[in-house]
Amino acid sequence: MPSVVGLLEQRELAARRRVDELREEADRIHAELAVAEQEWNEWVIARSRVGEVLTSTSDAVVGPDASMDLPDPGEQQVRLEPAEAAKPKSVVPMWRAGLAWSAPSVDYQRILQALTDRNQLGQDPLTCQEMASCFGLEAVPAKVEALRSKAKRLVARGWLAEPAPGRFTLAKGVAGPGGGS
């Protein structure tokens, strides 16, 4: 008969995996939303500019001051700051040969650097608790889970590998910042 603690651990693991999957899905959707908002804003600007050109008279001034028309009352005001939809560098790009190590945000770069150092020393993969210690963080569940979420995102994007559950290392082909990646 399985132990109660063992059953609870299985349920906790399944719940944690579901949370990780949902976080990755939310990150993907936020990135797609930012791109869609930017494209939408570009089309609004293009339509506005074409409308200005088509309605301008031959002796009208064309320049920065000519584009300061008031919007139509029936038109919805469009937010022209797509960068606010997703913070810059908050999305981890898919790894590919030649991609700069500055592509992910600083938090992700710290994880990559720690694993690069570990790899160069020929040491075993790191757990998230060990990463927390490396970064001078307390190994409390909130900090460890935040690192685990970031590490899982790096695995999903091809930067890291997870040879054993909860143990992370650089993916094959990924080298250090000076190693051709």
Q: Is residue 180 part of a domain?
A: no
At which of 29, 49, 84 does a domain end?
A: 84
Residue 34 to residues 93, 102, 136, Cα–Cα distance (Å): 14, 20, 33
Place of tokens 């938090």: 107
Q: Is residue 159 part of a domain?
A: yes
pTM of the predicted model, to two decimals? 0.47
Whether pLDDT at 11 is above 90: yes
CATH number where 131 lies: 1.10.10
Do 29 and 78 reside in the same domain of the chain?
yes
45-82 pLDDT, tens digit each? 888 888 888 887 544 444 444 444 444 444 444 443 43
Place of tokens 């609870």: 8
Do 28 and 75 reside in the same domain of the chain?
yes
Q: Is residue 150 part of a domain?
A: yes
